[in-house]
Each structure stands twice: as structure tokens, then as C-alpha cells.
Amino acid sequence: MEKIIIEKSPPLHGRVRVSGAKNAALPILAASLLGTEDIILEDVPNLKDVEIMCEVLKSLGSEVVYLDTNTIKINSKNLNNYETRYELMNKMRASFLVMGPLLTRLGKTKNSLPGGCAIGARPIDLHLKGFRALGAEVVQNEDNVFAYSDKLMGGMIYLDFPSVGATENIMMAATMAQGETIIDNAAMEPEIVDLSNFLNKLGADIRGAGTSTIKIRGVKHLGGAKHSIIPDRIEAGTLMVGAAISKGDVIVENVITSHMKPVSAKLRECGCTVEEGIDSIRVVGNDHLTAIDIKTMPYPGFPTDMQAQFMALMTVLEGTSTVIETVFENRFMHVEELKKMGADITVEERAATIIGKDKLFGAEVKATDLRAGAAMVLAGIIAEGKTIIDEIYHIDRGYDRIEEKFRKLGANIYRQEF
Ligand SMILES: CC(=O)N[C@H]1[C@@H](OP(=O)(O)OP(=O)(O)OC[C@H]2O[C@@H](n3ccc(=O)[nH]c3=O)[C@H](O)[C@@H]2O)O[C@H](CO)[C@@H](O)[C@@H]1O
Ligand SMILES: C=C(OP(=O)(O)O)C(=O)O
């Protein structure tokens, strides 16, 4: 079993390039089931979740070939299987995103319920509401969901919450439904825009992605395309917090600076210098960073996927910080782990209060989920002594060589087999 070991490190310093976004790559890989010609995806991050999604595509009849570490060629001309395998589906949440493409391309799809990080109940009711609005029959039991329709028809869907996954699944299903679909209260995340751009390159007719109303006019057929995945704003944010927490000076390259606004704003608010370049951001920390408050919200609000990393930072900010988590109901699992390192945090329902301490201390901790794992890495960089992080498969789901990137910036971090 592998663990990540971190020893107290000097202030992080230097330049680091961000990989393509996991949360754009996964839906775009799922959307590749829709095209009947060659699809080339560039800047695909090298992640466990991507590997699993490629296995899912292959199990459905797509040809998937790695042209190099970050470039994948997919051909789904011979897509022939509408049923996904439990052992692949239960490994990650995003596997469920094949449902929309299969429904519209093959007229039916059967999937076991998705797995993934235990950060909340994560129901799929909004995805299914969308499929039903397009005229599909949907039958759900304890283990599986079966959806079918001889002819999907455009429909009007209002999402009770701007769910990222539901917006993506419905958008994909609607690409080849007859007539116009309108998704209201749609998620506005940059990854939705990337998916929409990709689908339009395949020949879809989607307008409004990135706003709360998305209109999709169904087309008869989708072809092929070449597409580069957008940079990962959560990986970028994690590296930016690395600069802040270690009082370092880091230039994070390959970022879309507008996607980083909530993160940049909160780092400035606590006292960091944040300078935006054309496609890079420099973050400079200092000795006098002070408490901040964050409340997670759908985009363009503060991302829930950055909450744990900011909480690691708050443990050493001067004063009392607060976090309110509004997106997921169980996303404070990192709190107990940070407390093992000496952090002073109390949680009441969806609110955490963090009293800043002078220092943290190395400890044996767990990556209880993906971003909780990233928080442990950040805390470990500044903690006195040695931090050993267990269950790092969570981290590998979503970070492409996390230890190499932090090591490049001067962190004493390595991976060891136990
Ligand atoms: C692969 C991917 O892109 N994952 C991201 C995606 O997850 P994901 O797409 O699963 O997140 P959603 O936006 O769907 O979930 C947000 C909230 O809506 C609820 N909900 C969702 C669907 C549904 O049918 N019913 C329902 O109640 C969820 O339980 C959650 O409380 O967006 C999340 C919110 O930004 C991020 O944390 C994840 O990193
Ligand atoms: C929760 C996350 O991912 P997923 O939706 O794939 O579980 C995440 O990226 O932080």
C-alpha cells in the first residue's frame, strides 16, 4: 500500500503547470460516446478516474487509444452495449454521466448506481427528472436505473438545484432529442462550458452554457472533433493555497484566471498578494495572514472542491475563520484529520469555526476523500515533523502526480510503498 510522506518544508517557490481538469475530462469522455467519427482529446489529466472512465467506454464498445500520456483517441462508431458494469460504476460518481449519451444514441441504458467520495448522499433524482422530461421511461430499483425511449423529444427542465452532473447528463441526452430542450437553473461551472464547446464541435447545437439557461436543439447525428481539456481550476487553487500556507512565492501556469476569481479573492482577503498574468497566477504569502470566512456555493460562488484546502490554510491564519458548506451535507471529514495535527476546529451542522494556531504538528492521517487528501498535503507541508497520509488512492483520483508538483516547488514530499 502506498502512502504520502511529508516533512516540514521551506516556503514553496517556483513555477508549476496545472493539468487538464478532471471535472471537464470526465463528462467529455462520456460525451465521446455520442460521436461516430474519430475524437482526439488533448491535455487529458493522467488520473485514476480518467482510467476508469476509459474502461467504461471500452466496455460499451468504443475504441480508446492513448496517443501519449495526455492525448486520447476515441472512436465510438461501433458502440453496441447499453449496460455498464457494476464494478466500474461503483468506483466513481462521474461514471453515471454515460447515461445521457447512451440513452440518446442507443435509445436505452441500464446502469448501476454510481459510487465515489462519501461527501453526501448525492442522489440522482435531478438527472432522472431531466430524462423523464425528454420523454424517457425511467425505472429505478435499489441497485440499477434503466431508462429507455424510442424517440426522445426536446423538453423544458427546471433544476431544483443547479447540479453540475444533472446539467451535463441532460445536455448530452438532449443533443439528439427531436426539437428544443431548455434547461433552467442550469449549473454554470466552466466545465459545463467546456463540455458544451466540445459537443458543438461534434455537431451539436447548444447555446447558453455558462448561464443559467441552456438551450439545446436536437440534431440527427454527431461526428468527430479535436479538443483540448480546460485547465483544472481546483488543482490550480490547491497549488495557490500551497503558496499561501507556506508563505511562499509561486507562479501557477496554465490557468484561466477568470475561473480562479473566488479563490484569488479569498487569498487576497487574508492578505496574500495575487497577481494575474495572461494564463498564470502568482501568489505570494507572508507572515501576517488573517482570518477569513467562506461559504461554498455553485459557480461563480466559492467552490466546495476548494473548501478542505482553505480549511487547512485557516488552521494557521491569525484569528477565527468560518466555513459554511452549502453544497454537500457531509463534507467535513477532513476536520478530524486536521485536528490530529493540532488544529482547533469545531463543527456545528454545516458550519465550521477554525481558531488559527501558530503551528501544526505532523501526524498519521487519512485522505478521507479527494480534497480532504489535498488538505492533508497542504497541512503536512507546514507541520512540524513528519506527516504520513494513508488512503491516498482518493488523492490519485483527482490529482495528476501531486507529490511531483509540490516537490518541484521545494516541498519535502514523497510516496512510499508500505
Ligand atoms: C465529476 C464532477 O464534475 N464532480 C463535481 C460535480 O459533482 P456532481 O455533479 O455530483 O455535483 P452536483 O452539482 O450534482 O451536486 C451538488 C448538490 O446537488 C445534489 N444533487 C445532485 C444531483 C441530483 O440529482 N440531486 C441532488 O440533490 C447533490 O447531492 C449535492 O448536494 O460538482 C460538484 C459540485 O460543484 C463538485 O464537488 C464535484 O467535484
Ligand atoms: C467530489 C469530487 O469529485 P467527484 O464528483 O468525482 O466525486 C471532487 O472533484 O472534489
pLDDT tens digit string along 280-289? 999 999 999 9
**Domain final residue pick, 197, 228, 259:** 228
Count up the domains in the chain and report the number. 2
Residue 224 sits in the same domain as residue 241: no
Residue 39 sits in the same domain as residue 99: yes
Residue 29 sits in the same domain as residue 126: yes
What are 137-164's pLDDT values in tens digits?
999 988 899 999 999 999 999 999 999 9
405 CB near ligand 1 (under 6 Å): no
Residue 262 sits in the same domain as residue 378: yes
Ligand nearest to the CA of 131: 1
Q: Which residues of 77-111 are buried (b: 16+ CB within 10 A; e: fewer)?
A: eebebbbbeeebbebbbbbbbbbbbbbbbbebbbb
The percentage of the chain sitting over the pLDDT mark of 90, rounded to a whole number, equals 92
Residue 197 sits in the same domain as residue 240: no
Residue 70 sits in the same domain as residue 31: yes
Instruction: Report pTM.
Output: 0.97
Cell (9 digits) for 363: 501526524
Residue 222 sits in the same domain as residue 287: no
**Domain final residue pick, 228, 250, 282:** 228
Task: Supply the pLDDT for residue 218.
Answer: 98
Q: Is 305 annotated as a binding residue?
A: yes
Task: Supply the pLDDT for residue 112.
Answer: 87
For residue 335, pLDDT over 90 is answered with yes
Task: Supply the pLDDT for residue 116.
Answer: 63
Residue 217 sits in the same domain as residue 275: no
What is the position in ligand 2's atom list of the atom closest to the CA of 370?
A: 10
**pLDDT tier at 292, thresholds 50, 70, 90:** very high
Average pLDDT over residues 307-313: 98
CA of 277 to the centre of ligand 1 (A): 31
Residue 263 sits in the same domain as residue 393: yes
Residue 411 sits in the same domain as residue 331: yes
Residue 213 sits in the same domain as residue 312: no
Ligand nearest to the CA of 301: 1
CATH number of the domain encompassing residue 351: 3.65.10.10
Cell (9 digits) for 102: 447512451
ipTM of model over 0.95? yes
Task: Supply the pLDDT for residue 178.
Answer: 98
Residue 6 sits in the same domain as residue 38: no
Range(s) of the domain holding residue 178: 22-228
Angle in degrees, CA 66, 60, 120, rounded to 5: 90
- Residue with CA nearest ligand 1 atom 6: 164
**Domain final residue pick, 209, 228, 247:** 228
Cell 466559492 belongs to residue: 302
